[in-house]
Structure 1
Amino acid sequence: MTTTTTWDEKSQQFHGGQDWAGLANFVEDFSVTTNGLGTPKDALAAARQAVDLCDHYPPANQEPAKSSLAEFLWPTTWRENHGRLLLGNGASEVIDLVVRQAPAGKWKPGPFAVQYKEYERSALANGRELLPATDDAPAAIACIVNPCNPTGDYQPLAAMKEWIETNVQDGGYAIIDESMQPWHSENFRADSLVSQSAYVADLHARRGISVFVIHSWTKLWSCTGIRLGSIVCPTDAHCQALKKIQVPWSVNCVALAFLDRVVRDADYLAETWRVTPAWRQQTVAALRERFPGWRCYGEPFLSWVWVDIGDAQVAERAVGLARAAGVPVRSGLPGYQKPTFVRIAARQPEKLAVLLKAWQPLASE
């Protein structure tokens, strides 16, 4: 089910999260993968205070927010890595920047059945030929979303390095989207390419392959409305090249104030790592009990469940029933072309109960 009033399907890549505002009985948005805890209160307060500064330009160097994020990503080595980091107006901006900057040649996605479509959209918009994920040929630019949204597949660090070396041609670009990777655990950095500065430098020296790591921070900290993303480049020089083609002041004062505050909220992250796996497991268990024919996919730490209902008509009915009850879910049909699938966010048990009640009529289908 698509929403025609907010999305131009002829010229824009479909994205979820468009239904909630049109629902008079809205309860919870299960269609997006944002943090079920909601927006961190201290960071939200900082963002509201920053509105009072809207009569001034935001800092062109993105400081102090950029340094704060650098320290979050590299707690002990952030100063030497600072020059490789660039903030953007959501991940979408930095995705487009790096795809435009990449060497000429073919584009290919990660090995999963489907993945977040913004990379493909940007490649097509820039006139690139697309290779299917099943093609063994290396590409000039290869993009993988890890963990994969929506399928929930995850490549540990060793497997990710192997994928890069196999699927990117010498002199090419590897773009790794780790937007959902910080949900992994409090030790997420150890399994992230952000921690692999020496490997990234060696790969660039050895084969000329440039590794970029992108984050959309709006999911982890539930702030999709303010647009906040970042990219870690292989070298300072790569970062400077992107900065030259970036629109000035693309990250506004509200987003910068939010980021500067939110990276210091350790309690929020600790609670995220505690409750998200529990809420997700409750969701999976409830679906398996009520709908034994449905199949649930994804890693236990993720903020959503990718569900194969097995029947396109039943899946369409599930989407409609959820929307009618004020708890929209993400259909797998628009964008992903997976008509038997739905994606369900991990949410509080009381919100999940509303969704499950809406789906009671499906138990006999």
Structure 2
Amino acid sequence: MPTNAATNNGPWDAKLQQFHGGQDWAHLDNFVEDFSVTTNAFGMPEAAKLTAIHSIDHSHHYPPADQEPAKSSLARFLWPAEYLDERNRLILGNGASELIDLVIRMAPSGVWKPGPFLTQYKEYERSARNNNFTMLPEGSPDKANVVCLVNPCNPTGDYLELPELKQWITENVLPGGYAIIDESMQPWHSPEFRHHSLVGEREYVEALYKEQGISVFVMHSWTKLWCCTGLRLGSVVCPTTEHMRAIKKAQVPWSVNTVALAFLDAVVRDTEYLDNTWTMTPVWRKLTIDRIAEMFPSWVFYGREFLSWIWVDTGSEEVAERAVELAKKAGVPVRSGRPGYNLPTFVRLAVREPSKVDVLLAAWKAV
């Protein structure tokens, strides 16, 4: 297959690494906006960014080994009333990717299964393969020792409400198994996101572990919501304190650096930023879809209204490849569905403010 905008893996070693997007911007002389990543359209929160910058002054010291006070600050964000009781189930990581790998390494060996959607974030599959699991495809009727479901699902936009999610866990996890539920995009839901999240379902999680030995882990990457992918910030809510301690024992010391911890400690208090996110993301998302649909009536759009991206089936490999190529040439790269997901008729684009969308749609006039 020839190397082009849709298939080039850039800095990724295709034989050793799982492809991820977000690399094209650095190689563009005319870069305008990165539509290829699902980060927040409002960019990095300014106050937290300044706090992170100032923390450089303390970077000649080791970061705190207990991840405090950032861990407690995140706990307060997740459980405003009960954070003192809950924080010992929480641990931070160098992005969610580190924690994904740690949890899968300590999981019961055997069979691994993804969520029920067409595709999902591939880091779980990569880690499972590296740890010699037998791999089941999505939609398999068989139960597994370890299941990994991304909800909301990146990139497809599929979403299970809590009752559906609990039913899926019951129907797909073997007794004594692990259920890793990635809720990285859940906080985009609304100010009421906690009521739609497994984070607040402690009684359910405890009962499942006590009665069936099933361990539920809730994974978050915080770098999308707060637009700080370069800082590497993730967390996992464990079913018990003992599970958290097992991860901590295996985790490399000082995994999360001083700058990332300072940023996290500050950003969780920026309520204005989140209010803007919850208000404008659905508005800009709908506006973008309406404008693209007017240009390309046959394209099909997927995903819930609150999500920070749009998953688009162009219906044609050639059209999708051309759309990716033109966007990149205009300095507004989008994500191809070919590398990583093997869905060559699809493209994914982030929700962005209308003036940036203008540049993308001007480029797509030539599609």
**Fold shared per TM-score above 0.5:** yes
Checking the alignment, whether the CA contact within 8 Å between 1:143 and 1:175 is kept in structure 2 is yes
The partner residue of 1:76 within 60, 81, 84 is 81
The partner residue of 1:36 within 34, 41, 44 is 41
Q: CA deviation at 1:4?
A: 4.4
1:233 maps to 2:264: no
Q: CA deviation at 1:34?
A: 0.1
Distance 1:312 1:2 in 2: 12
Distance 1:90 1:104 in 2: 24
2:69 corresponds to which letter in structure 1? P
SS at the partner of 1:162?
Answer: helix
* Equivalent residue number for residue 323 of structure 1: 328
Q: CA deviation at 1:210?
A: 0.2
**Per-residue deviation, residues 299-345 of structure 1 (Å, max 9, x unmatched):** 00000000000000110010000000000000000000000000010
**Per-residue deviation, residues 202-226 of structure 1 (Å, max 9, x unmatched):** 1111111000000000000000001
SS at the partner of 1:176?
Answer: strand
TM-score of the two chains, using structure 1 as the length reference: 0.98
Matches within 5 A, 1:157-306: 157-306=162-311
Runs of 4+ aligned residues of structure 1 deviating over 3 Å after TM superposition are 2-5
SS at the partner of 1:87?
Answer: strand
Distance 1:11 1:122 in 2: 12
SS at the partner of 1:48?
Answer: helix
**Per-residue deviation, residues 147-193 of structure 1 (Å, max 9, x unmatched):** 00000000001100000011000000000000000000000000000
* Equivalent residue number for residue 154 of structure 2: 149
Aligned residues: 362
Distance 1:58 1:96 in 2: 22
1:322 corresponds to which letter in structure 2? A
Q: CA deviation at 1:265?
A: 0.4
Distance 2:280 2:292 in 1: 18
Matches within 5 A, 1:284-363: 284-362=289-367
Distance 2:76 2:198 in 1: 16
2:202 corresponds to which letter in structure 1? S
Checking the alignment, whether the CA contact within 8 Å between 2:10 and 2:23 is kept in structure 1 is no
**Per-residue deviation, residues 233-260 of structure 1 (Å, max 9, x unmatched):** 0000000001111000000000000000
Q: CA deviation at 1:2?
A: 3.9
RMSD: 0.6
SS at the partner of 2:252?
Answer: coil
Distance 1:354 1:361 in 2: 12
Matches within 5 A, 1:87-126: 87-126=92-131
SS at the partner of 1:220?
Answer: coil
* Equivalent residue number for residue 134 of structure 1: 139
Checking the alignment, whether the CA contact within 8 Å between 2:9 and 2:19 is kept in structure 1 is no
Distance 1:193 1:313 in 2: 40
SS at the partner of 2:17?
Answer: coil
The unaligned stretches of length 5 or more in structure 2 are 1-5
Distance 2:59 2:270 in 1: 25
| Cα 1:92/1:361, change in 2 over 3 Å | same
Distance 1:220 1:278 in 2: 17
Checking the alignment, whether the CA contact within 8 Å between 2:112 and 2:133 is kept in structure 1 is yes
* Equivalent residue number for residue 3 of structure 2: none
Distance 1:252 1:2 in 2: 34
Quick one: percent identity of the two aligned structures? 63
Checking the alignment, whether the CA contact within 8 Å between 1:3 and 1:18 is kept in structure 2 is no
SS at the partner of 2:293?
Answer: helix
1:208 corresponds to which letter in structure 2? G
Distance 1:117 1:233 in 2: 21
